[in-house]
A = this chain, B = another copy of it.
Amino acid sequence: MSLKNIFYPNSVAVIGASKTKGKVGYSIIRNLKNFKGNVYPVNPKYKNLLGMKCYSSVLDVEDEIDLAVIAVPNIIVPKVLEECGEKNIRGAVIITAGFSEVGNYELENKIREIAKNYGIRIIGPNCLGIMNTHLDLNATFASIFPPKGKVSIVSQSGAILDAILDIAPLLNIGFSKVVSIGNKVDIQESDLLEYFIKDDDTEIVVLYIEGLKDKKFLKSAKKLSRKKPIIALKSGKTEIGKKAVKSHTGALAGEDSIYEAVFKEAGIIRAYTFEELVDLIHIFSTQPIIKSNKIAIITNAGGFGVLAADACVEHGMKLANFDKSTISKLKDVLPPTANISNPLDIIGDAPPERYEKCTELLGKDKNTDGILVVLTPQEMTKPIDVARSLVKIKNNCREVKNKPLITSFVGGVSVKDVKGYLRRRGIPSYLTPENGVKALSRLYNYSLMKVRKDYDEELEKIKEKFLKIRDKNRDYIDNLLKSPNEYKAKKLLDFYELPVPECYLAKNENEALEFCKKLGKCVMKIVSPEIIHKTEVGGVIINPDNPKKAYNTLVNNAKKHDPNVRIEGVLVEKFIDEEKIEVIVGAKRDKIFGPVLMVGLGGIFVEVLDDVSFGVYPITREFAVDMIKDLKSYKILEGVRGRKRKDINFLVECLMKIGVIMDIHEEIKEIDLNPVFVFNDGNGGCIGDARIII
């Protein structure tokens, strides 16, 4: 079902319309006064309302109604929604609160059922409403209606929407669709993202997210981000009461890390603070995409030039090397004392013409792909005249128009009105040069974002193969998955063609001896469901002289640690003697996003430095490589200081295979491979230790 009835209705009924100022039902009716279609107030208390005929029920309205806006007390919502269904209304915005957000799940479920029965698409409940500026449709109780524009916004907080709408006129940010999404009983973010793909009035999508319950989100976001930038602010990074977890992966894969991975995979530009969100909307809604990270900075204040240059380093931007011809032209424009470099210090006394001419020359400079103009009010400075010059050159010079041009007029009293002048004319003005550089850098990041495939042939092939393996050995595998210890986990991995060292489970000292003889140099490890960190309880012996004695030592150590310990045996495993690096590979099943994969440098460093990287299954090979490259410690895998490059390809395959195993075995909650040994490039690797949690 399309959302057209919601965003492009011909007629709107307001159920719970009110005559009383201050009531939500009043504000909605008032806000709809400019709407181009028909409005039908519904409230049995009134015959008419604000000069309009008022109906007792939607059923009394003779014309067709596309959208119902519902603002009646929560317990009446089911009844009026039923009536909407009978009236064949296909879209509803439920403003009313008092549902799941206060624990009233039953009432919310009732609504869900009614909606399903009648095929009504619903926004809310517990929301501010929706807007479509292009239809002058303000179906909210917010007092501010923003300028028309191309930004569509979906927010899980009405108040944050209010704040953005209040800021919008000052920054000249124009909106298309405004959606306060509320409790999301029906319409989720993904429905809206899908809708925006084809909505010609939407060019940029902004999200404020507190928490998703939307399994289709990643897929829809991927599709949309290929065509239009998506900017998201996600709050709730704080994880209250992080519970004791059994695996490293569980401990490390906090909610926020998973969202971070989802955003990265989806190609969403993430804002980390509200200020950043606004700064990003400001640049994305007014400027063309930047072609490279080479920018020019024009400033009348050396100090701010240095600060802007610092920000370039911090945010991955480059100061362009101006073309020779540009340099010679700049010399003609600037006073002889000026130094032609980047940042270009045009000196404290810079008049408007100098700003204009330099902006033009750098707009035409082929080595420069973006321009930041900095101004500080000094004795001779005329901020408003400089602003006028910039607007003029932007309008008159094609090359300037085609590159991002942003400003930072740093000051207070002398520049505050000038900022508005610039913004109203499509030139963003940032609080500081550093914020400006940061905004340009995010524009650049967007240009770098890879179009992520949804489908990876290699992954599909692995899955096909693994499904065959699974189906052929169903019973055996099911048995391995019953409370899997390290031995069983490794057997399972072996089945799925993940290399594990040759290993046996010794049940007594004689078996231990036998296996040790067979393997040569080996490692012996205690196997017990009670013991997670084996080394800490003396549960590992490397290359034992006397395997029988070693067996008993391991068992005794385990008992010392916990007298009630259940011992399933001692794993005897071939010692891995190759040049290697230890890595951790893990997977965790997320309620919303499904299997989440993790990779990081192993040993104690992963725990101390938290240097791990996440991806949401299904991942492509390309994304798996990016996950590994995102590690701060990636250089170690590449080989530093004369050490050999490690087999990154092996690690990539590990990630893909673990993902598929999670996919085809839904009973697995977490997989923790720690360490995974990665050998030198070309030599593969193998899994040193494995835990599978059901």
Contacts and interface: CB of A to CB of B under 8 A. Distances in A.
Contacts of A604: 636, 640-641, 643
A633 B609 CA distance: 7
A169 B413 contact: yes
Interface of A: 22, 24, 27, 102, 141-144, 155-160, 162-163, 166-171, 208, 210, 233, 235-238, 273-275, 300-304, 306-307, 309-314, 337, 348, 376-380, 410-416, 431-435, 533, 535-536, 604-605, 607-609, 611, 632-633, 635-636, 640-643
B379 A143 contact: yes
Nearest to A240: B309
Given A273-B307, A376-B160, A536-B642, A102 B411 contact: no
Contacts of A233: 307
B166 A377 contact: yes
B310 A162 contact: no
A390 to B, nearest CB: 18
A640 B607 contact: yes
A129 to B, nearest CB: 11
B273 A235 contact: no
A111 B633 CA distance: 53
Contacts of A535: 641-642
A166 B307 contact: no
A348 B126 CA distance: 12
26 contacts: A156-B303, A157-B302, A157-B303, A159-B376, A163-B301, A163-B376, A163-B377, A163-B411, A166-B411, A166-B415, A167-B411, A168-B412, A171-B412, A235-B310, A237-B310, A238-B312, A238-B313, A273-B307, A273-B311, A273-B432, A273-B434, A273-B435, A274-B307, A274-B434, A604-B643, A609-B632
A292 to B, nearest CB: 19
Contact of A303 (B142, B160, B412, B635): B160
A154 to B, nearest CB: 13
Contact of A301 (B160, B642, B643): B160
Contacts of A306: 210, 235-236, 238
Nearest to A416: B170
Contact of A163 (B24, B170, B410): B410
Most buried by B among A155, A210, A376, A605: A376
A636 B542 CA distance: 23
B304 A141 contact: no
Contacts of A432: 273-275
A303 B208 CA distance: 9
Contact of A533 (B208, B337, B413, B641): B641
B142 A379 contact: yes
Contacts of A431: 275, 431
A301 B144 CA distance: 16
Most buried by B among A142, A171, A413: A413
Given A144-B413, A533-B641, 20 more contacts: A157-B301, A159-B303, A166-B413, A166-B414, A167-B412, A169-B413, A235-B303, A237-B310, A237-B313, A238-B312, A274-B304, A274-B432, A275-B432, A431-B431, A536-B642, A604-B636, A604-B641, A608-B632, A608-B633, A609-B632
